[in-house]
Chains A and B, each alone.
Chain A
Amino acid sequence: MRALVRIVSWFYAVAIYGFIFLPVVVLVLFSLQATSFPIPPFTGPSLRWYDAVLADTRLTSALVNSLLVAALSSAAAVTLGFLSAWGFARFALPGSALLRGLITLPLTVSYLIIGMGLLVLFNWAGIPKSLLAAGIGHVVINLPLCFAIIYSQMGDHQINIERAARDLGAPEWKVLLLITVPVMAPAIFAGFFLSMTFSWDEFVISFLLTRFDTTLPVEIWNLLRSGLNPKTNAVGSLVFAVSIVLVVFFELMLLRRKPA
């Protein structure tokens, strides 16, 4: 009986992980396919489709665009998120709880709604569809996230540290720059890398807000319209690899043991 339970639980665990990771494994496996169709039997391994991706200037320029949008929008989101977290943590504001709720609210709104809203708004304001517009969209979705991460780590124990700096003659901007930011660095980097991850493979907002120059997920979608092809697998694997790197950075930052 006990043996049976163990077998069943093992089977269950394998099934769960299989369910989560099998699609990715299949994607990566068939990106190494030697022939022209990403379907069994596996004929590889071969890197010819990766060569094809890197030779495709539309894909490589989309990749560069994606990285730029991710890095810049995340930097903006984390800066704004940090400043708002600091404001909420250090100053008694009227309706603080309500305002904090409002700032995190976009987390619950679908990207489609945010994207459409921005599309209408930019249209009305005369801002053309562009990478900048998509970047602004990514700031909108990532700012609440950065705020939540940084605010959660901004405890009362840092208040005296900031006071000590002021007491020793530091003006407010130096307190922020020399004390608060370095002390909060793990949370700030965690927010930054998580924002990068989300911006990096975000599709809906980029799709709605870009036109000629676009990001990698939108370009992959373009590619998919002409049918399955190991090249899409290869570029998908690249996207996945970058995401993994970003998530690992995020985990390292957030879970790193804090010095006492």
Chain B
Amino acid sequence: MTAPLVDIRAVSHRFGQHTVLKNVSLQIEPGSYTILLGPSGSGKTTLLSILGGFVTPSQGKVLIRGEDCTAVPPAKRPTTTVFQDYALFPHMSVGSNVGFGLRMQGVDAATRTTRARDALALVGLATAFDKKPHQLSGGQRQRVALARALVIEPAVLLLDEPLGALDLKLRRQMQDELKAIQKRVGTAFIHVTHDQEEAMALADHCVVMNDGRIEDEGPPERVYARPATRFSATFMGESTLISGTVTAAKHGTITVATQVGALSLPGTVPAGASVALAVRPEHLVLGAAGGAVGLGTARVSGVVFQGSFKRVLAVSEKDPALHFIARVPAAAAVQPGDIVAVSCDAGDIILLAG
């Protein structure tokens, strides 16, 4: 295996008394699109600032291309950052903004212009060269910030909630373009967001963070299908969570005692362990002709029409603390107040530590 492009080794960081990162280790492969996903306060932005050199961690090391960059200032490390507020230089033209990094490297004006124009063409803004930032729309400023950061050919491009200030439609559109641009330039992108849809759409490697720790990391498909922790099961997409205790375990099958009855599913957890079972909304079946594992009956408390499907919320009749989240076809006749049978297949149950 080749050496990772970025190697974060046991990084912890404190702001005063408050520990925002707790022993985080992470490796980034060359050419990958990594998403740091987590709620606000999870430490994802701090981790990005540490990568960018704006914050020096209290403990741990950051290696980029095998070199220790832990305390190297932003100007001297092979990273560039796209800031959430774009941070364009308001007094300079778009062309000068994009050429700024090259100017700092001492590149002559003619080469700067050529390369800035190329970078602007890459992000689809070839015509904006002579404009001022305030003449551009939010999405266009975002592209200028991207071109400005990419033109100096960093080893790693850091994006701090780059789509956070855009409206939903533009966000989805920019999302597709970001991915396309990343594939074209081949630079490793590390992108911070709290939007799990954005994470699933963009990431080659998805890192779910909570409370200063990495909860889960891997390809988004794996993180979604088989989340490693309770937190990632509920943050990366929704899940119904059922807690219980393992009563028997043999031949790769366990029996779990829960509020909705004893459930059998594949697993190797020893008897006596407390576990949580998570089921994705699309795997819950409502109605009589259900899956192999019965989860009792539930009273529908809410139906939300989402266009291509309906999101159904239901409360278990056996345990009022258990809330089912299901996804049914848009044509399904479900109404609040209905009593429905809930079931699923054993293979769709995700086994988590309790």
Residues of A within 8 A of B (CB): 157, 160-161, 163-171, 174, 179, 182-183, 185, 259-260
Contact, CB under 8 Å: A169 / B152: yes
B83 interface neighbour in A164, A170, A179, A185, Cβ under 8 Å: A164
Q: Indicate if B148 sits at the interface (CB-CB under 8 A).
A: yes
Determine if B80 and A168 form an interchain contact, defined as CB atoms under 8 angstroms apart: yes
Q: Are B104 and A169 neighbours in the complex by a CB distance under 8 Å? A: yes
Min Cβ gap A232→B in Å is: 45
Among A161, A169, A174, chain B packs the most CB atoms within 10 A around the CB of: A169
Query: B51 to nearest A CB, angstroms?
Result: 11
Query: What chain A residues lie within 8 Å of B80 (beta carbons)?
Result: 167-168
Which residues on the A side are within 8 Å of B101 (C-beta)? 168-169
Cβ contacts under 8 Å, B88 to chain A: 161, 164
Contact A183 B90, CB 8 Å, known A166-B73, A166-B74, A169-B152: yes
B132 partner residues in chain A, CB cutoff 8 A: 259
Which A residues lie within 8 Å of B85 (CB)?
Answer: 157, 160
Which residues in B have their C-beta under 8 angstroms from that of A167? 52-54, 74-75, 79-81, 149
* Contact (A259, B89) CB under 8 Å given A160-B83, A165-B100, A168-B100: no
In the complex, which residues of chain B have a beta carbon less than 8 angstroms from the beta carbon of A170?
A: 75, 100, 104
B14 at the interface (CB under 8 A from A): no
Out of A160, A169, A174, A185, name the residue touching B91 (CB < 8 Å).
A185
17 CB contacts below 8 A, A to B, read: A160-B87, A161-B89, A163-B81, A164-B81, A164-B148, A167-B74, A167-B75, A168-B80, A169-B76, A169-B152, A170-B75, A170-B100, A179-B89, A183-B90, A183-B91, A185-B91, A259-B133
Complex Cα–Cα for A167 and B85 (A): 15
In the assembled complex, which residues on chain A have CB atoms less than 8 Å from the CB atom of B83? Answer: 160, 163-164
Chain A to chain B: the 9 pairs with minimum beta-carbon distance, closest first: A168-B101, A169-B104, A160-B87, A259-B134, A164-B87, A182-B91, A167-B74, A260-B134, A169-B75
Decide yes or no: A163 and B54 within 8 Å by CB, A157-B85, A169-B104, A171-B75 being known contacts. Answer: yes
Docked pose: A171 CA to B76 CA in angstroms: 10
Q: How far is the CB of A19 from chain B (nearest CB, A)?
A: 43
Question: In the assembled complex, which residues on chain A have CB atoms less than 8 Å from the CB atom of B52?
Answer: 167
Knowing A167-B81, A170-B104, say if A161 contacts B75 (CB, 8 Å): no
> In the complex, what distance in Å separates the CA atom of A174 from the CA atom of B103?
11
Q: How far is the CA of A161 from the CA of B54 in the complex (A)?
A: 13
Interface string of B48-83 (1 = CB under 8 A from A): 000011100000000000000000011110011101
Measured CB to CB, the residues of B under 8 A from A are: 52-54, 73-76, 79-81, 83, 85, 87-91, 100-101, 104-105, 132-134, 148-149, 152
In the bound complex, residues from chain A placing their C-beta under 8 Å from that of B54 are 163, 167
- CB-CB nearest in chain B for A174: B104
A260 to B81, CA, bound (A): 22
* Further pairs besides A168-B148, A169-B104: 14, Cβ < 8 Å: A160-B87, A161-B90, A163-B81, A163-B87, A167-B52, A167-B54, A167-B75, A167-B149, A168-B80, A168-B101, A168-B149, A170-B75, A183-B90, A259-B132
Cross-interface CB contact of B74 among A163, A182, A185, A259, cutoff 8 Å: A163
Taking the closest CB of chain B, its distance from the CB of A92, in whole angstroms, is 12
Contact B89 A165 (CB under 8 A): yes
In the assembled complex, the Cα of A174 lies from the Cα of B106 at a distance in Å of: 13
Q: Are B104 and A168 in contact (CB under 8 A)?
A: yes
Report the Cα distance A167→B83, complex, angstroms.
11
B132 vs chain A, min Cβ distance (A): 7
Q: Name the B residues within 8 Å of A161 (CB-CB).
A: 87-90
With CB as the reference atom, state the residue of chain B lying closest to A259: B134
Shortest Cβ distance from B82 into A: residue? A164
Chain A residues lying within 8 Å of B81, measured Cβ to Cβ, are: 163-164, 167
Q: How far is the CA of A20 from the CA of B90 in the complex (A)?
A: 40
Q: Which residues of B contact A163 (CB under 8 A)?
A: 54, 74, 81, 83, 87
Residue of A nearest to B73 (CB): A166
Residues of A within 8 A of B53 (CB): 167
- Residues from chain A with a CB closer than 8 A to the CB of B75 are 166-171
Closest to A169 in B: B104
Q: Which residue of A lies closest to B80 (CB)?
A: A167
Nearest B residue to A179 via CB reads B89
Instruction: List chain B residues, Cβ under 8 A from A183.
Output: 89-91
The answer for the CA separation of A179 and B83 in the assembled complex, in Å, is 16
Complex Cα–Cα for A167 and B82 (A) = 10
Nearest B residue to A260, CB-CB = B134
Closest chain-A Cβ to B56's Cβ sits at a distance in Å of: 14
Centre residue among A164, A165, A174, A185 by max chain B CB count within 10 A: A164
Q: Specify the chain B residue showing the minimal Cβ separation from A175.
A: B75
CB–CB B152/A168 < 8 A: yes
Pick the most buried of B52, B74, B88, B133: most chain A CB atoms within 10 A of its CB.
Answer: B74
Looking across the interface, which residue of chain A has its beta carbon closest to that of B74?
Answer: A167
Q: A165 vs B100: C-alpha distance in the bound complex, in angstroms?
A: 8
CA distance A171 to B105 in the complex (A): 11
> What residue of chain B has the Cβ atom nearest to residue A164's Cβ?
B87
